[in-house]
Amino acid sequence: MMSAEHSNRVPNIVLILADDLGYGDVSCYGATQVQTPNMDRLATEGIRFTDAHAVAATCTPSRFALMSGIYPWRKPGTGILPGDAALIIPPESITLPSILKHAGYTNGVVGKWHLGLGSPESPINWNNDIKPGPLEIGFDYSFIIPATGDRVPCVFVENHHVVNLDPNDPIRVSYKEKVGDDPTGKEHPDLLKQSPSHGHDMTIVNGISRIGYMSGGKSARWVDENIADTITAKACSFIETNQDKPFFLYFATHDIHVPRVPHPRFVGKTSMGARGDAIVEFDWSVGEILQTLDRLNLTNNTIVIVSSDNGPVVDDGYRDRATELIGNHKPNGFLRGGKGSAFEAGTRVPFIVRLPDKANAGKVSDALIALIDLPASLAALTNQIIGQQIPETAIPDSENVLPALLGETDRGRENLVLAGASTSLRHGTQKIILPNQKGQAISANTFIETGNNPNPQLYELKNDISERNNIAEKEPKRWEELRTILQKIRQKKVIVP
């Protein structure tokens, strides 16, 4: 089957996870106003999935599921985290990286983390050892943006330490009150090079006001224009350093999240302003990874997976002209909704897998799969090759969809629970969204259709991919059957560490 078996070595795994990249944002998924040649190359050389999902429509719960194999709604406290939150995955628990580590992989995470750092008992001191974090849940190397680009502290953390920190200029962070005398966006809009449209009016770093307050750490602060260059170089050097052993690289880009401040060489590459240019920058990062694998002769023994943590958003809190310049571009493609939404575009994301030896190159698969399935599927892969077993109670919501990932079948999951503004269930091509009495139909901040509705919703995506025709009232029996399936999954007894 795969060359990995012949060479008696497990394949390397590179997982590139974009931030807020929508189903319609790349050219191999139909975008025309922006070209993504490296994503397109991957689609030509790999398998392009049309029905792959993040299990949540925002970052933290989506990434929690990817790492832990547990639906985020099973664990309180897995919503969008502030930058000073404690790690939400207990150290020593069984995770995607710990499974691979056990199978002999050397694991690295580079880029956006947003799963918390430190513990509730000992909150993070940014000037000291910062742990627990990625290294305590299975990674061997980490170079991370602690939370998001728009949240303080705006510094990189490498393993347990802030990069380039001057001990004489310690960092303080608060999400409650102003610390130190750095100007805020609220007090000093005159100092801003990009102003907020919602929130984002606290400490100014690099001319951009953020969520949260920080002081100190001047020499450690990132320059937004250089984030993609910095983390892409770290990701490539992790590959280079570990080329002689099986490695797993989780490369979580900052693109195309806000604030969108691409490097000057990408500015103006599209007619869509910062958001379009950030897509081009993201695609460049993908290209750098592919070239590094080519140069080191690793392409034929490496699985490359590229996806996104949740659906797209145009105005996510900064006036970067994304709305004005969007033209005919549809970030959600032919889907309804976007980031945060219970409609498909909240969670259905681009997902491409390139296999060793480019097996099944060019295939398009409509298997229903999700990022949460990577722990069980990659465990199955390593199990096939080296016979690894993991405890039965671990990664309870992760399903082994390896045959679909390998392109051997178009069958994926039967059921998938999705956490957007309201909870929904996919059962094959059928979808229900639970009634939500309180939620707004359109997000006041992002103007995205949330999918919230006080009434039951049922869609047959086979002939209504854009969720326009709610058939719940016409088909009460089908609605009830699907709701029962969802209830059963929700009530399943699982161990949540």
Residues making contact with Ca ion (CB under 5 A) = 19-20, 59, 309-310
Distance in Å, CB of 80 to ligand NG6, minimum? 5
Interface stretch with ligand NG6, choices 181-189, 309-317, 343-351, 431-439 (CB under 6 A) = 309-317
Interface stretch with ligand NG6, choices 91-99, 152-160, 196-204, 379-387 (CB under 6 A) = 196-204
Interface stretch with ligand NG6, choices 99-107, 192-200, 213-221, 414-422 (CB under 6 A) = 192-200
Radius of gyration from C-alpha coordinates of the chain: 21
Q: Binding string to ligand NG6 for residues 238 to 267, with x set by CB under 6 A, is what?
A: -------------------xx---------
**Site for ligand NG6 contains 199 (CB under 6 A):** yes
**Site for ligand NG6 contains 207 (CB under 6 A):** no
Give the separation between CA 104 and CA 248, rounded to whole angstroms.
10
Give the separation between CA 284 and CA 302, rounded to whole angstroms.
19
**Site for ligand NG6 contains 59 (CB under 6 A):** yes
Give the separation between CA 24 and CA 331, rounded to whole angstroms.
5
Give the separation between CA 170 and CA 214, rounded to whole angstroms.
10
Interface stretch with ligand NG6, choices 119-127, 155-163, 198-206, 413-421 (CB under 6 A) = 198-206
Concatenated DSSP letters of 157-184: EETTEETT--TTS--EEESSS--SS--B
The listed partner (Ca ion, ligand NG6, none) that binds 45, CB under 5 to 8 Å by sort, is: none
Give the separation between CA 262 and CA 221, rounded to whole angstroms.
17
C-alpha of 29 from chain center: 18
**Phi, then psi, of 204 in degrees rounded to 5:** -90, 125
**Site for ligand NG6 contains 224 (CB under 6 A):** no
Name the residue whose CB lies closest to ligand NG6.
59
**Site for ligand NG6 contains 402 (CB under 6 A):** no
Give the separation between CA 67 and CA 53, rounded to whole angstroms.
15
Contact between residue 31 and residue 24 where contact means Cβ atoms under 8 Å apart: yes
Distance in Å, CB of 151 to Ca ion, minimum? 12
Distance in Å, CB of 254 to Ca ion, minimum? 10
Q: Which is nearer to Ca ion, 46 or 338 (CB)?
A: 338
Please classify residue 41 by burial: count the beta carbons closer than 10 Å to its beta carbon, then call 0-12 exposed, 13-18 middle and 19+ buried: middle
**CA 426, 432, 435, 440 torsion-angle sign:** positive
Report the DSSP beta bridge partners of residue 318. Answer: 196
Q: Which is nearer to Ca ion, 150 or 277 (CB)?
A: 150
The listed partner (Ca ion, ligand NG6, none) that binds 445, CB under 5 to 8 Å by sort, is: ligand NG6
Distance in Å, CB of 148 to ligand NG6, minimum? 5
**Site for ligand NG6 contains 445 (CB under 6 A):** yes
Q: Which is nearer to Ca ion, 38 or 310 (CB)?
A: 310
Please classify residue 6 by burial: count the beta carbons closer than 10 Å to its beta carbon, then call 0-12 exposed, 13-18 middle and 19+ buried: exposed
Q: Which parts of this chain interact with ligand NG6 (CB under 6 A)?
A: 19-20, 58-59, 80, 114, 148, 150, 198-200, 211, 257-258, 310, 316-317, 445
